[in-house]
Chains A and B, each alone.
Chain A
Amino acid sequence: MTRVARRARRLIATVTVGLAVAAGATACGHPEQQDVKALRDALARTAEMPRAFAYEETTNDGTKTDVKGVVEDDFRYEAAYAKDGAPVLDEVVYDDELADRFLAPGEIASFLRKKAAPATGARPDGEVTGPDLAAAMRSGKWVVDAAGAPTPLSASAERHPLGEDPVYDARHVFDYVDGVVREMRVHKFNPDSLDYRPNEDPFPKPGRGSKVVRYDVEREPVPRPSDTSTGNQAIPTERSFRKMAIYVKDGVVLQVLEDMDVASRLDDIQRNYDIKLEGSVVQEVDQAVAAINVVRKGQGRLDPIRVRRMSYRLSDVGMTQRVRPPDDGVKANLAVLINRGRVPAAAVTAGSA
């Protein structure tokens, strides 16, 4: 059989299978809906399991973030955050207790709340405050808040812009991915699909015989300014840039990869919005995203688009993990830090048992 004939047979087979799948979909629900359900089930299942994780992010300016840690359950975890390879923060949550150790004093400011958290009444004895607390955080020693564990639940009243708190981002990857899956179209990776474009796929293919299922989030086109139903000018959202693949094996998530790929959409942005970007690709991406974020803010969408490549890799899923709190530390109220410390119920929408 000639090469052309083989390709023709493969195409016919793909189309035939596609038609069969489509026919089946009419009777049994859309395959994409089944994919979404299977993926969401896998996310929920994995989120409940003890695990080790490695979260890595590289932004458009090349800044690299690493958060490595283990999760024993929703009340116990430990995480180590490093920026460009240099350790920044170690954190342990053990039931009610929160322990933080800053290893890069220059980074402390980025974790401080802009507004002080409201007081919550009784506090444990012997806590340092004011300058002593600041000195303790700069000392490189553990600072321990006996009642400061962050709520394990999402608190929709609070904003959590990506990148503001890498430990928070790493802890909430499952929520983040679930939000993406609910919002965007998802399908199983299929290299034989007529829609598949290998040159636009930055992610590794599952190995042959590995039984790994890859779920892909479908990136949407860059809109035109007139593509709007709200009266506001339509602008690109994350949906126009996000490439995401979730790798699942035996119903358990192994890895999540995300590429907020603006670079490949620069031509579309310039054409659709009649603008001219200049400089290197990195500079053009910066200009485009800065402009989009300004319009987003004006339209009330406060969280900016973050151009990044992210990997969240899981290991030892389902295996017993043991988190241990530090043996000693300076006692303090760590509600001075974002996403940490005990805050009144009114400040959050969900409980913190």
Chain B
Amino acid sequence: MRSIPRAVAGAVLLLVVGLSAAACGGTPAASAAATPAGKIGTLPAGFLPSEVLGLAVAPEDVSAQIKGVDRSYADAVGMYSFRSDDLLQATLQVTKFNDRARWRSAAFRLQVVSQVGGSVPSPVKVGDDTVYLTRGTKQSLAIWFRGPYLFVLATREEYLRPRALLREMLKVKP
């Protein structure tokens, strides 16, 4: 595992904390449904190829970032980098919701999506999937759901093949 870039770490923290805000809402019942602090695990990298579109894929160590997160509906997180040479072109964050999250609910999903990025995410159809597009700082963000998993693909603004990479990532099944 590589040491995680600062920008990547920021993204992980944002999303896991965000999920806690969206899902729990501060009520006692919601708190009971949340994954306790220190119990969020990390996902393995086995479901991703080691190379995609010429980019080297590697898992990133986010254990320090998720260690202190409390009251989240995420029970596992994986963060993967995509590099050409040493340049980080994209990251993929995969978040697995715990059993008590209402991940089948469209409203819940929209609430989660609305917390990502700097503009209102817009849905587009890519193959059979609905993907929400938005922007972060100097990056494009694509968000989609696969069963209890949430995917967030962040690509550097200058990267020339973000849609091809997204289409490849849509084939991924954890």
Contact string, A75-87, partner B, CB cutoff 8 A, digits 1/0?
Answer: 1000000000000
Nearest A-chain residue to B127, judged by Cβ: A73
Interface residues on B, range: 20 to 34
CB <8 Å contact, B162 and A122: no
B157: CB under 8 A from chain A? yes
Asked whether, in the complex, the Cβ of B163 is within 8 Å of the Cβ of A75, the reply is: yes
CB contacts (< 8 Å) of A122 on chain B: these are: 158, 160
**Cα–Cα, bound, A155→B118 (Å):** 15
In angstroms, Cα B162 to Cα A342, docked, is 12
Binary contact readout A29-50 vs B (1 if CB under 8 angstroms, 0 otherwise): 0000000000000000000110
A175-234 contacts to B, CB under 8 A, are none
Is B12 positioned at the interface, with any CB of A under 8 Å from its CB? Answer: no
Stretch among A293-301, A305-313, A343-351 lining the B interface: A343-351
Closest 4 CB pairs between A and B? A74-B124, A147-B160, A95-B163, A121-B158
- A interface footprint on B129-172 (CB within 8 Å = 1, 0 otherwise): 01101110010111000000000010101101111101100000
- Categorize the interface residue count of chain A: 20 to 34
Task: Tell me which residues across on chain A come within 8 A of B166, comparing CB atoms.
Answer: 353
A153 and B124 contact, CB distance less than 8 A: yes
The yes or no answer to A96 lying at the interface (CB within 8 A) is yes
Q: In the complex, given contacts A73-B125, A154-B122, A352-B140, what are 11 additional A-B residue pairs having Cβ atoms less than 8 angstroms apart?
A: A49-B125, A74-B125, A75-B163, A75-B167, A96-B162, A96-B164, A153-B122, A351-B133, A353-B141, A353-B155, A353-B163
Asked if A152 is an interface residue, CB under 8 A from chain B, the answer is yes
With A74-B126, A149-B163 in contact, do A353 and B158 touch (Cβ < 8 Å)?
no
Q: Is A279 an interface residue (CB 8 A)?
A: no
A contact set with B: CB distance below 8 Å: 48-49, 73-75, 95-96, 120-124, 146-147, 149, 152-154, 342, 344-345, 349-353
Partner of A345, one of B125, B135, B153: B135
User: In the assembly, what is the distance between CA of A345 and CA of B164, in Å?
Assistant: 19
B50 touches A (CB below 8 Å): no
Chain A residues contacting B140 (CB-CB under 8 Å) are 345, 351-353
Chain A residues whose CB sits within 8 angstroms of the CB of B127 once the complex forms = 73
B133 touches A353 (CB 8 A): yes
Are A351 and B135 in touch, CB under 8 angstroms?
yes
Whole-angstrom distance from the CB of A352 to the nearest CB of chain B? 6
Contact check, B135 vs A75: say whether CB atoms are below 8 A apart. Answer: no
Contact status B167-A95, CB under 8 Å: yes
Q: Which of B77-125 contact A (CB under 8 A)?
A: 117, 119, 122, 124-125
Chain B residues with CB under 8 A of A351:
117, 119, 122, 133-135, 140-141
Complex CA distance for A352 and B131, rounded to whole angstroms:
12
Chain B residue at smallest Cβ distance from A352? B140
Closest to B138 in A: A345
Distance from B24 Cβ to chain A, minimum over Cβ atoms (Å) = 28
